[in-house]
Amino acid sequence: MLRQLVYRSRATHKMSTSDIDKIVEDSVPFNAQNNVTGLLLFDGEFFFQVLEGDGNVIHGLFEHLKNDRRHTNIVKVLDTACAKREFGKWHLRTLILNPQNNCYWLPSDLSVRRDSRVFSLLNSFATGRWRSCVSAEEKASVNCSVFTKAVTIEPYPSSDIQFAYQPIVDTQTRGVSSYEALLRNSKGRYPELILADLPEQQRYEFDLASKRIAITQGAKLLQTGQSLSVNLLPGAITQNKHIVSQLLSFLQEAGLKPEQLILEITESEMVKESDAFFAVIEDIRAAGIRLSLDDFGAGYAGLTLLADLMPDKIKLDRAITNGIHESGPRQAILHSVFEFANATGSHLIVEGVETFEEWLWLNNAGVRKFQGYLFARPQLNGASAISFDARLLIHSE
């Protein structure tokens, strides 16, 4: 199957015209033999390359190119099947850009449709967009550390239901901003399995009732300025007329203020919700309790839900986080959601951060709140210690 793969990268050193000629010289024999065509743009610092050919060949070539020491910060922008080649005349065509140029100056013999995706990408690159990466200088200047001790609390008495707690880390303040309470039972089953065994109405009643345990136990972890996040099904909000008073009662028993509680509502579960749901949300907000849109990017409601709910916090799903330092589309999503959050006063939390490379790119993009195994795993009846030092991780690479 014919595929088109586009990537961008950053030169590891200053490149001369002869250096670019050497890249062509190294590439053309393989490309000609394997019927690979494409285009290479260079602006003095960044590369942008389009590769076309058989899918297996293109993917193998890309893995090879990732190991080329002449460039770094390699980000895959596009990898898709295509009906025909855009650059079928060239096994590798190179164009040198300068900051004053844009793609409308392309040579007449380069016939790329102006309504095509590739033309749009070429234009974006030539005009300076989508070049976010971590330079060697930026990497060397990163100085972030977070250290916390482990905390253990006694299990909630006479209950099969317990909670594991995972910290949400603020790297700007270098500490824990909040903890998320994650439902568990004595057999270690996860929330979706526990709730799936219950009929719908009973599921909603159980979901709300379990928050008494989550709040009571979570309160024992909190220090000054910290909050507690609990997940709540939308149905539990709309099916209980006394939900606000019950939540306030739980908080009072635990000695917490309303503003210390954050209700996390999953995007995928909100698609079917009606005006009644949003009416109750207003009552919850009026009581001082805050709202977070959980797993954003994993559901189907999308940006419309952001506009309607206007959450205090947006938690970007781990599916977007995974490999974000190498994925152009994921980076574009992050930038868009981050811009929305900044424009509306929401706080962006990125979930599922598991590698230092992911954190480094996100930190460079301006994100400051993270949740993931890189910092700490959920711990039943307590919170794990955190030992995170960016400088040590950089030097260990």
Task: Please tell me whether residues 237 and 262 are part of one structural domain.
Answer: yes
User: Average model confidence (pLDDT) for the chain?
Assistant: 88
Mean pLDDT value across residues 255-260:
96
Task: Please tell me whether residues 39 and 125 are part of one structural domain.
Answer: yes
Q: CA 38, CA 288: separation in Å to the nearest integer?
A: 57
Q: Is residue 346 part of a domain?
A: yes
Task: Please tell me whether residues 361 and 271 are part of one structural domain.
Answer: yes
Mean pLDDT value across residues 371-377:
97
Task: Please tell me whether residues 230 and 371 are part of one structural domain.
Answer: yes
In b/e form, how buried is each residue of 188-210, taking b as 16+ CB within 10 angstroms? eeebeebbeeeeeeebbbbbbeb
Task: Please tell me whether residues 211 and 110 are part of one structural domain.
Answer: no
Query: Element (H or E) spanning 179, and its range?
Result: strand 175-185
Going by C-alpha positions, the residue among 331, 359, 326 that lies closest to residue 76 is 326
Within 10 angstroms of residue 14's Cβ, the number of other Cβ atoms is 8
Of 106, 131, 156, which residue sits at a domain end? Answer: 131
Q: CA 261, CA 124: separation in Å to the nearest integer?
A: 42
Task: Please tell me whether residues 112 and 181 are part of one structural domain.
Answer: no
The one-letter code for the residue type at 245 is S
Does the pLDDT of residue 274 top 60, yes or no?
Answer: yes
In three-state secondary structure terms, 31 is helix
Task: Please tell me whether residues 57 and 168 are part of one structural domain.
Answer: no
Does the pLDDT of residue 101 top 60, yes or no?
Answer: no
**The Cα angle at residue 196 between residues 192 and 198, in degrees rounded to 5:** 135
The residues with which 347 forms a beta bridge, in sequence order, are 313
For the domain that residue 146 is a member of, what is the CATH number? 3.20.20.450
**Domain membership of residue 43 as a residue range:** 2-131
Does the pLDDT of residue 14 top 60, yes or no?
Answer: yes
Task: Please tell me whether residues 18 and 55 are part of one structural domain.
Answer: yes
Q: How many domains does the chain have?
A: 2
The tens digit of pLDDT for each residue in 307-334 reads: 888 899 999 999 999 999 999 889 989 9
Of 131, 159, 193, which residue sits at a domain end? Answer: 131
Of 97, 131, 165, which residue sits at a domain end? Answer: 131
- Sorted by sequence, the CB contacts under 8 Å of residue 274 that are 6+ apart come out as 238
Q: Is residue 136 part of a domain?
A: no
Task: Please tell me whether residues 206 and 351 are part of one structural domain.
Answer: yes
The one-letter code for the residue type at 118 is V
CA atoms within 13 A on the CB side of 209: 9
The tens digit of pLDDT for each residue in 122-156 reads: 877 776 655 666 777 778 788 899 999 999 999 99
Task: Please tell me whether residues 322 and 186 are part of one structural domain.
Answer: yes
Q: Is 211 in contact with 230 (CB distance < 8 Å)?
A: yes
Quote the distance between the C-alpha of residue 53 and its chain's center: 31
Within 10 angstroms of residue 368's Cβ, the number of other Cβ atoms is 17
Q: CA 44, CA 39: separation in Å to the nearest integer?
A: 16
Q: CA 299, CA 189: separation in Å to the nearest integer?
A: 23
Q: CA 284, CA 290: separation in Å to the nearest integer?
A: 8
Task: Please tell me whether residues 82 and 154 are part of one structural domain.
Answer: no
What sign does the CA torsion over 157, 161, 164, 168 have?
negative
Does the pLDDT of residue 385 top 90, yes or no?
Answer: yes
In this prediction the pTM is 0.84
Quote the distance between the C-alpha of residue 372 and its chain's center: 11
Q: CA 316, CA 348: separation in Å to the nearest integer?
A: 7
Going by C-alpha positions, the residue among 21, 8, 88, 16 that lies closest to residue 52 is 88
Provide the token pair at 341.
């959050």
Of 238 and 259, the one with more pLDDT: 259
What is residue 132's predicted lDDT score, i.e. its pLDDT? 67
Does the pLDDT of residue 351 top 90, yes or no?
Answer: yes
For the domain that residue 41 is a member of, what is the CATH number? 3.30.70.100
Task: Please tell me whether residues 177 and 117 are part of one structural domain.
Answer: no
Does the pLDDT of residue 299 top 90, yes or no?
Answer: no
Q: Is 85 in contact with 20 (CB distance < 8 Å)?
A: no
